[in-house]
Amino acid sequence: MSVLGSHGQSSSLQRLHYVEKRIVRLLELAGVAMDELGNASAPKTEVLASHCRDFMMAIKEIQTMLREEIRSTCEYRPFEKCDYNSRISNEIYCKKLEHIIEQLDAMQQNIDQCSNSI
Amino acid sequence: MEVERNKRMRIDVDKLPMKRLLAIDEIGNEQFPPEKSNEEQRLSAIHRIDFSLVVEKEKEKEKEEKDKELSKSKDGQQQQQPWQGLMENLRQAQHELSVILDLISTVEANDSVAVALMQRPKPLPNEALADFAVSAATKVQRLRHLGRYFKQCSKTMEQQVSKEARFYGSLIRLQQNWKVKRQRMGISEGFTFDLFDSRSLSGADSTVLTRPSPMSTIIIDQDAFGMLAIQLPQKSCRTLCLKFLGDDSSTCRIKNNTSEKNASSSGSDIAQPPSVKEILSDEDVSGCIGTTHSILRDIHRSLFEEKVFEMVNREAFNNQSSQGINVTGMRQDFLQLVIGQDSSLCLSLVLSEPEGEYKENGKDGSYNEDSSESGSSSALAPILLPTDDKNPTRSFSKLALSSKLVLSLQIYLLSIFHQETLSRAKEGHSSCGSLLAHFCMSVAHRVFSNKVLSILENLVSRVSYIELVSHPTWHSRTSSWSLRLKVPEASSVFDGGYQKQTKRSQFLTKVVIKDGQISLRGQSSATIVASFAGDATEPHSINTYTCDLEDLPMLILHQVASQVIQWLHEEALVVGMKTSRDLLCLNVDLEQGDTLSLMARVDPDDASACISWALAIPAVTDDAVNFSFYQTDSDNPGLKFLGSLSLESLYSALMDLANFCGNGAVC
């Protein structure tokens, strides 16, 4: 997702997406830890400990990010400044510009033709 | 009770009959057991007698008998040993069971019992290990199952997350430009794009209240990969089309996003095999967003154009009697108006074809009338010069009305109605006068001014020393041109550069058209010599007059010719010749008292020379004073036709005359 804010910082949506990805990774980690525990041979304690540490760190990170995001959410204002009028203005200006450009191109062609015939 | 001698007598003394509670509930009510009759009491007393010892003794007797029987059997001692073990175990088991039964009965009798020792049977070693192994294996299996479950969850969650991220990311980007509404109630919860502009209506003007058309709410969908898709109703996008009756060219232009439209309209399959779904990249998402955005743009624009058509219809219907609007035809999506005297304007709403391609058009600009697609090749064709074999002005004006001009009129119509809606949104009803009438007059003006322009161009192409200059007027019902007459710089220098500075190098004739009325302003020059002659109060003398279309060429040529005469007059004065001037005639006084006249002859219908010159030489006879324009050389030897001359040759002719005069002229 390449939705960046105006200053290059990540947007709220990007951060939430990151949180979701972390949660997915977390589940994966839990699965790996379970596998390790359920190892046919004895589960290695260091590996398990490292997994659990990672898990707890991830939980902490997710928690802080979510807390921040929830604190900074604002109410959804459904498009209060409706600029459909200016959008139509722009469309009309666009049409005018295209028309003018065509006419200028025609003039250019005329000039070329005249200069070619000379 | 009868007692045997060998046995001791046991006397059980009943405890005092207490009322023992059966139950007590929350409130505190006590429930006592029901009163027992005497029979029951006796029975319960009998139950309390412990017969266990007796039973045990009997069992022991039975066992002894069995042992005797077993020992009497003829099987070997090997069989006896396992049996004996078994018997021993059974005996032990029986003893345990009896103790337990005793315990139970004592407790039933509400006696407290002190349990001294309870001993578990020692488990066999392989049993213990087996149990342990089984539990361990189950645990491990369960853990592995959990691990698989977690991994599976994470995979599905990842897919779900990316799918939602695509959808909501697209939605947020589109939401920056379009109004998104959310429906929570109803069967399906979902998002919609709302293209209806509520702010363009004003509350004060209730007659203009419009309902949102069904096309202004667009439902947003997700496809299988989370890409945003919108449900586009087929063939309902319409645009406004303006054209002149009898004109085959169509000017409706539709932005050509059609090639990409199929990608995201519902009802058409997205041409991506399911194996590609992991490779859906950011570019794909951006492309989808772009397509959706352009579709929404098209729909929004077509909504506006429909609104404009409705407003036009309303004005035409309401103000039919007012000037300028003459409705000759009205159908479902069609309006026909009469402009001026001879042209008819058609305004219609046409469908925009969703699957259109650029069509190559012929050079004459003819299009397929049913299709509303148009290529742009004819617009680039240069304007043909009016050298057609037909009546030049008429055919040229017809050509000039094709595509370009009609398109600009179309854009103008949209623009003025949009201004109207803007001003209505800001204040109340604020349009002064009927917009449609104004528009019709503008169209009439354009048609007329095209004719005038063709005439002017015609003239300019035939007279070599006039230039045509257009002036923008920034008003839709006014047009203005200038005809510039450039006079050559005099090569002779008088009194240094003094006179050069004051000499005007051009004469202007201004043609202004307002709403079908032509006004002509011819500029005369002022030089120092003229101002010395006493005209200081009026440096410029401007002739202004209005005229008709038919008289225009003649008047312009008159004007130009008189300007040339004037210039020659000034040059002659500079040189020092005694000259006077009439309307189209320059009279030079000769030495002998004769007058040489240089006359301009104006003929707008002459294909080669509009302005031609004639020299009237004073004849020897007396009737040299009587000239006639239309006498040929043979009739009047005094009149010499010079044909059309350039300004330089006129000037040199004048200088020759100056030599000829010899009246103190300095050459």
Residue B549 contacts residue B342 (beta carbons within 8 Å) = no
Using a CB-CB distance cutoff of 8 angstroms, which residues of chain A are in contact with residue B147? 30-35, 37-38
- CB contacts < 8 A (A, B): 132
Closest CA to B66 of B52, B80, B51: B80
A13/B411 Cβ within 8 A:
no
**Distance from A90 to chain B by nearest Cα, in Å?**
11
What's the distance, Cα to Cα, between the start and end of chain B in Å? Answer: 187
Nearest by CB: A21 against B161, B168, B180: B161
Are B511 and B498 a contacting pair, CB within 8 Å?
Answer: no
Burial level of B153, CB count in 10 A (0-12/13-18/19+)?
A: middle
pLDDT the model gives residue A10: 72
Count Cβ atoms within 10 A of the Cβ of residue B665 and give its class: 0-12 exposed, 13-18 middle, 19 or more buried: middle
C-alpha atoms less than 13 angstroms from C-alpha of B391 in its C-beta half-sphere: 5
Q: What one-character-per-residue DSSP string does B332-346 give?
A: TTEEEEEETTTEEEE
pTM of this structure: 0.65
Q: How far apart are the C-alpha atoms of B501 and B488, rounded to whole Å?
A: 14
Q: Is A97 on the interface with B (CB under 8 A)?
A: no
Suggest the residue from A95, A114, A115 to mutate for an interface test with chain B (most B CBs closer than 10 A).
A95
* B157 contacts A23? CB cut-off 8 A: yes
pLDDT tens for B346-361 read 888 887 754 333 333 3
Check A38 against B146: CB less than 8 A apart.
Answer: yes
Q: For an interface test with A, which of B143, B241, B280, B402 has the most A Cβ atoms less than 10 Å from its Cβ?
A: B143
Spatial strand order of the sheet with B506-514 comes to B466-471, B478-486, B506-514, B517-523, B542-547
Q: How many CB atoms lie within 10 A of CB A60?
A: 10
- Looking at chain B from residue 20 to 79, which residues have their Cβ under 8 Å from any Cβ of chain A? none
Measure in Å the smallest separation between the Cα of B282 and chain A Cα atoms. 6
Residue B582 tokens, joined: 């009439």
Mean pLDDT of A82-90: 85
Range of lowest pLDDT (B39-53, B122-136, B257-271): B257-271
Distance from CA of A66 to the nearest CA of B (A): 16
Which three-class secondary structure string do you get for chain A? CCCECCCCCECHHHHHHHHHHHHHHHHHHHHHHHHHHCCCCCCCHHHHHHHHHHHHHHHHHHHHHHHHHHHHCCCCCCCCCCCHHHHHHHHHHHHHHHHHHHHHHHHHHHHHHHHHHC
- Relative to beta strand B238-244, strand B228-230 is unpaired
Give me chain B's average pLDDT, please. 72
Could you tell me which residues come within 8 angstroms of residue A26 by beta carbon, excluding any fewer than 6 positions away?
Answer: A55, A58, A59, A62, B154
DSSP string, B31-56: EPPPPP-HHHHHHHHHHTS--HHHHH
Segment B200-217, tens digit of pLDDT: 654 444 455 566 677 777
The pLDDT of residue B567 is 85
- Interface contact flag, B169 A33, Cβ < 8 Å: no
What lies within 8 Å, CB to CB, of B648 at 6+ separation is B488
Closest by Cβ to B168, choosing from A13, A25, A31: A13
pLDDT above 90 (res A81)? no
- Nearest Cα to Cα of residue A102 among B657, B382, B444, B91: B382
In chain B, the percentage of residues whose pLDDT exceeds 70 is: 69
Contact A82/B297, CB-based, under 8 Å? no
| φ/ψ of residue B339, rounded to 5 | -115, 125
Residue B168, token pair as written in the block: 């909501």
> Distance of CA B381 to CAs A103, B361, B437, B470, Å?
10, 11, 32, 21
Q: For residue A63, what pLDDT band results from cuts at 50, 70 and 90?
A: very high
**Taking CB atoms and an 8 Å cutoff, what residues of chain B touch A33?**
147
Report, as an integer, the average pLDDT of B248-266: 46
Q: Is the pLDDT of residue B83 over 70?
A: yes
Residue of B nearest to A84 (CA): B197
Distance from C-alpha of B542 to C-alpha of B528, rounded to nearest angstrom: 17
pLDDT at position B546? 83
B621 pLDDT above the threshold of 50: no
**Alpha-carbon gap, residue B417 to B312, rounded angstroms:** 9
Residue B607's Cβ-side half-sphere holds a number of Cα atoms within 13 Å equal to 6
Q: What is the pLDDT of residue B662?
A: 60
User: What average pLDDT does this structure show over B392-417?
Assistant: 68
**Cβ proximity of B622 and B440 under 8 Å:** no
Query: A95 touching B, CB under 8 A?
Result: yes
Tokens in use for B451? 């004719």
Question: How confident is the model over B393-407, as a mean pLDDT?
Answer: 57
What six digits make up the tokens of B498? Answer: 């003094």
Q: Which of B356-360, B370-374, B653-657 has the highest average model confidence (pLDDT)?
A: B653-657
Give the span between the Cα atoms of B467 and B479, in whole angstroms.
17
- Contacts with B, A 31-70, CB within 8 Å: 31-35, 37-40
The CA distances from residue B320 to B313, B344, B443, B457, in Å, are 10, 16, 17, 37
Residues of A in contact with B154 (CB under 8 A): 24-28, 31
- The interface predicted TM-score of the complex, written ipTM, equals 0.83
Taking CB atoms and an 8 Å limit, are A37 and B199 in contact across chains?
no
